[in-house]
Structure 1
Amino acid sequence: MTLATLHRTCGPALLLGLFASTLIAQSLPPQKERLVTTIDQQQEELISLSDQIWALVEVAFEETGSAALLADYAEAAGFRVERGVSGMPTAFIAEYGSGQPIIGVLGEFDALPGLSQQATPGKNPLHEGEAGHGCGHNLFGVGSLAAAIAVKEAMERGEVSGTIRFYGTPAEEKYFGKLYLARDGQFDDLDACLDWHPAPKIEADVQSSLALVDFIVEFRGQAAHASADPWNGRSAADAMELMSAGINAYREHLQPTVRIHTHMMQAGDVVNVVPDYAKYWVRVRDSKREGMEPVWKRVEEIARGAAIMANVDYEITLVSGLHEVLVNRAGGTVMQANLELLGDITYTDEETAFAHGIQQATGKEQVGLDGTVKPLEETKENPGGGSTDVGDVSWLVPEVRLGVTTAPVGTPWHSWAVVACGGMSIGHKGMLYAGKALALTMYDLFQSPETLAAMREEFAERRGEATYEAILPEAGPPIPGKK
């Protein structure tokens, strides 16, 4: 059932009660009850914001409308807003209050190419070939801003003091916008930072991620007629194939935590010409930055060897790289307590049927949605999974992470199925829940210098003697249309 259908059948007042009643499992202290009420009272506007961003589907560094919606909403709520920070037109910082502590919350809003989808449980593009929010970022930014606004209102009531700061962070899916903010020192004065991410379950996230590096290899040779005089040609495509073979031979000798992905972006245009240009995109990951770096350098040596064998020139261009997340269990414990206060998300029969439709269409067991709060897990040494530019933030400030259900169990992420759920009430419920969990946790951190000190102590211990340096080229962010 979509939000519009709920409005027609229930009306705004009953809809408000529907969301509120499914989320609060036990009595909250009055101060925390007021935080929840703030989000409940704005939920129609918040859902509208999310749906507008869902419909805009703007990709990396092109999120002009999405960023403006969030920045304008923050400004209207009384935040001081700085736009276009760190050379990124769609990045902004919204701040309220003054003095210490300074607590940040992250918000993303970029879509993924090629995932256009209607809010239906079967694959049904809205606009064939266009983008879609296959990672739920239309929910991410709005949920985090909702939390910031709720805490801001608590500051206005005199319940907490300090500074709340919302970061509008673009291009997480491709260019990793937080790296440019990190390099510019935008997180350096924070006492703590929080984020959440759409997920198939509710949990305080105390697992790390994978470190990553992206680079492009370009080979340049000599074109020639592929039949009449191939001996006059030097094939850039040969070099790319040789590099691919070298990487595949190397895989046997890598640690199990390492991943190497490649994409042959260009290798000639027609079959009867020896190609003089080839372009190869390479991504290397490992569970730790210190493990990723030697593999990265070895792969660059493989590129050099391939160029020598094919007798062509080569050039390597760094795109960017990510650090693994530094876990903070002290902060995760506070988040866990607030999840248990809020309790589980429950779903209507219509939402469960929608989830079953998603699972049937994607070949998964039709078990529906999991809205239960998971116990706090032990932190694993090598958790696997993906990478995130939140990892770089976590090397600068204690980071508290959260996952909240916005799609059915087993849903393929970065797919049309996530887009579908993000445009209807399943996604909306998760977004509002995340906003409340973040707000309650930020409130606790503002109230407890002891907790902030414990988080900082754990942060220092996990980082050790390492220093942070963003893995970025010297040039600024690759803004489309900007030379």
Structure 2
Amino acid sequence: MSKTDVVEWLNEHEQFFTDMAKDIWEHPQLAYEETHAVGLQIAALQNAGFTVTKNAGGSETAFIAEFGSGSPVIGILGEYDALPGLSQTVSPVREEIVANGPGHGCGHNLLGTAGVAAVIALKEKMAEESLTGTIRYYGCPAEEVLSGKTFMAREGVFDDLDCALTWHPGTANMTSNFSMQAMVSIKFHFSGIAAHAAGAPHAGRSALDAVEIMNIGSNYLREHILDGSRIHYVITNGGFAPNVVPDASTVWYYIRAATKEQVDELLERVKKCADGAAIMTETTVRSEILAFAYETLPNDTLNGLMLKNMEENPLFFTEEEKQFASEVIASIDPSIVATSKQRIAAFTDDLLPTVNIDDQRMKGVSIGGSTDVGDVSWITPVGQVMTTCAPVGVQAHSWQATACYGSSIGFKGMHLAAKTMALTLYDLLEDHSLIDEAKQEFAKTSAVKLYEPGIPADVMPPNQVRQLIHE
């Protein structure tokens, strides 16, 4: 077998995986509810001869599909959850399929499907060359709420991996040399005393006042935190009627920074804002951590290998696809598009880039956004690339992204990612010294700290919480 055979197999089965990605796109489901995608992927993997373990890490929509035996053990990380409020047709204008419904504005319909394609393609060829080792596809739920892989990591499902590969839909073909931020997702629940807001306001203690005072404190705190750190929040419960002093109110925070240690420090300061607000309003407050993801730790060895394999499979777009891309971009603020173009201007000015970018300027840079891939990257070496699945200027978590990730542009980027990962798997199984090199790099870069799950031991996946409630 040659690597050409792997590519030919993927080309022959391209329509099958396009249909899978489209099916998942047409049935978007939110975090921990991704039963449709999981069912499709498990069926395909089992039919291909993989052994499937469900409920990985205690999450109902997490699973592991495995083929082979012995070492090395290499994982492919997949995702499939959608985002709320991003329902959209494949159209360059805003056109919801379901009013306020979910949509794949981050391209996870593509992300997981490419991983499934990669492992099945390699499995089909492993026996022909007697390639030894174990390949796994990790079906990971709830990346959009930054906790699916953290629960899995806490349960040790990644501990025996020699390395792992993943990718993400983007607006260029490039290695992920940068680091994404660590992040904690936390809710603050305030409790007060209800009263008639007009007849007896003195008898009430407003939980909503406490939330608002906490938010004011956090907003002033922004001036005194490290550059690049982020504090976001939404009030999820502000009371029920203006004439009733709210006795319960909740605010949900995302706190991000370049490292987990910086997030730990910032979290303590935000907690002091909550405690101070409770004192000022004579209410009480308790906090609830929902997710806690590490920053990502890039691995140059694996990224470079993935880039090499990506370069062997040129990407082409039709005139119709370029026209669709232009129409989508016309709906976006030109200044936003211009800023996005500046980031890759040194490499290309194409709206749909087909060049392969290894941007050395991004090494050591922490960028906005977070992912629970970070936890895995501190357990084992992880290689990651992005491919062109949308035109430059389209922002993730937007309706424009949903439209592109359901189009032929998105599917072409997905097939390139599948080939890149499958060929890299082949290289790693054929030449174990590549894994040794990745491990040596990992040992040096990860030596700064020992991985310990950020998510507390008493926090359970939502499905386990539901089971306890019903019991």
Q: TM class by shorter-chain length?
A: over 0.9
Structure 1: distance between partners of 2:214 and 2:36: 41
Say whether 1:475 aligns with 2:459: yes
The residue number in structure 2 matching 1:140 is 111
Among residues 166, 169, 174, which one is paired with 1:198 in the alignment?
169
Among residues 370, 380, 390, which one is paired with 1:397 in the alignment?
380
Structure 1: distance between partners of 2:143 and 2:219: 28
Among residues 291, 295, 298, which one is paired with 2:262 in the alignment?
291
Q: Which amino acid aligns with 2:26?
A: A
Indicate if the aligned counterparts of 2:177 and 2:364 stay in contact, CA closer than 8 A.
Answer: no
Q: Which amino acid aligns with 2:278?
A: A
* Greater CA drift, 241-250 or 425-434: 241-250
Indicate if the aligned counterparts of 2:240 and 2:246 stay in contact, CA closer than 8 A.
Answer: yes
Q: Kindly state the Cα deviation for residue 381 of structure 1 after the two structures are TM-superposed.
A: 2.9
Quick one: structure 1 residues 160 and 379, their matched pair in 2 at CA, closer, same or farther if it must change by over 3 Å? farther
Say whether 1:326 aligns with 2:291: no
The residue number in structure 2 matching 1:23 is none
Structure 2: distance between partners of 1:387 and 1:241: 26
Say whether 1:416 aligns with 2:399: yes
Q: Structure 1, residues 280-322: CA drift from partner, whole Å, max 9, x if none?
A: 1111110111111111111111111110011111111111111
SS in 1 for 2:461: coil
Among residues 344, 350, 365, which one is paired with 2:320 in the alignment?
350
The residue number in structure 1 matching 2:370 is 387
Q: Kindly state the Cα deviation for residue 185 of structure 1 after the two structures are TM-superposed.
A: 0.7
Q: Kindly state the Cα deviation for residue 368 of structure 1 after the two structures are TM-superposed.
A: 3.1
Say whether 1:279 aligns with 2:231: no
Say whether 1:235 aligns with 2:218: no
* Greater CA drift, 462-471 or 295-304: 462-471
Q: Kindly state the Cα deviation for residue 363 of structure 1 after the two structures are TM-superposed.
A: 3.3
The residue number in structure 1 matching 2:8 is 37
Among residues 60, 68, 71, which one is paired with 1:100 in the alignment?
71
Among residues 171, 176, 183, which one is paired with 2:142 in the alignment?
171
Structure 1: distance between partners of 2:201 and 2:167: 56
Structure 2: distance between partners of 1:218 and 1:282: 11
Structure 1: distance between partners of 2:165 and 2:118: 10
- In structure 1, the gaps of 5 or more residues are 1-29
Q: Structure 1, residues 49-74: CA drift from partner, whole Å, max 9, x if none?
A: 11110111011111111101001101
Structure 2: distance between partners of 1:375 and 1:141: 23
Structure 1: distance between partners of 2:358 and 2:460: 42
Indicate if the aligned counterparts of 1:60 and 1:175 stay in contact, CA closer than 8 A.
Answer: no
Structure 2: distance between partners of 1:219 and 1:256: 30
Among residues 419, 431, 443, which one is paired with 1:436 in the alignment?
419
The residue number in structure 1 matching 2:438 is 455
Among residues 74, 79, 83, which one is paired with 2:54 in the alignment?
83
* Greater CA drift, 275-284 or 359-368: 359-368
SS in 1 for 2:33: coil
Q: Which amino acid aligns with 1:262?
A: Y
SS in 2 for 1:361: coil
Structure 1: distance between partners of 2:245 and 2:189: 16
Q: Kindly state the Cα deviation for residue 382 of structure 1 after the two structures are TM-superposed.
A: 3.3
Q: TM-score under structure 1 normalisation?
A: 0.91
Structure 2: distance between partners of 1:255 and 1:106: 31
Say whether 1:464 aligns with 2:408: no
Q: Kindly state the Cα deviation for residue 379 of structure 1 after the two structures are TM-superposed.
A: 4.3
Structure 1: distance between partners of 2:128 and 2:333: 50
The residue number in structure 2 matching 1:255 is 226
Indicate if the aligned counterparts of 1:203 and 1:373 stay in contact, CA closer than 8 A.
Answer: yes
Indicate if the aligned counterparts of 2:190 and 2:249 stay in contact, CA closer than 8 A.
Answer: yes
Structure 2: distance between partners of 1:338 and 1:216: 43
Indicate if the aligned counterparts of 1:39 and 1:436 stay in contact, CA closer than 8 A.
Answer: yes
* Greater CA drift, 215-224 or 464-473: 464-473
Q: Kindly state the Cα deviation for residue 189 of structure 1 after the two structures are TM-superposed.
A: 0.7
* Greater CA drift, 427-436 or 151-160: 151-160
SS in 1 for 2:357: coil
SS in 1 for 2:421: helix
Q: Which amino acid aligns with 2:325?
A: A
Structure 1: distance between partners of 2:247 and 2:158: 45
Q: Kindly state the Cα deviation for residue 465 of structure 1 after the two structures are TM-superposed.
A: 4.8
Structure 2: distance between partners of 1:136 and 1:436: 17
SS in 2 for 1:216: strand
- In structure 2, the gaps of 5 or more residues are 339-349
Q: TM-score under structure 2 normalisation?
A: 0.93
Structure 1: distance between partners of 2:451 and 2:270: 23
- Superposition pairs for residues 42-81 of structure 1, below 5 Å? 42-81=13-52
Aligned identity (percent) is: 40
Q: Kindly state the Cα deviation for residue 325 of structure 1 after the two structures are TM-superposed.
A: 0.6
SS in 1 for 2:250: strand
Indicate if the aligned counterparts of 2:146 and 2:372 stay in contact, CA closer than 8 A.
Answer: no
Say whether 1:360 aligns with 2:360: no
Structure 1: distance between partners of 2:10 and 2:80: 19
SS in 2 for 1:225: coil
Q: Kindly state the Cα deviation for residue 175 of structure 1 after the two structures are TM-superposed.
A: 4.8
SS in 2 for 1:386: coil
Among residues 395, 406, 423, which one is paired with 2:389 in the alignment?
406
The residue number in structure 2 matching 1:153 is 124
Quick one: structure 1 residues 251 and 475, their matched pair in 2 at CA, closer, same or farther if it must change by over 3 Å? closer
Say whether 1:112 aligns with 2:96: no
The residue number in structure 2 matching 1:270 is 241
RMSD between aligned residues: 1.5
Q: Which amino acid aligns with 1:349?
A: E
Q: Which amino acid aligns with 2:402?
A: V
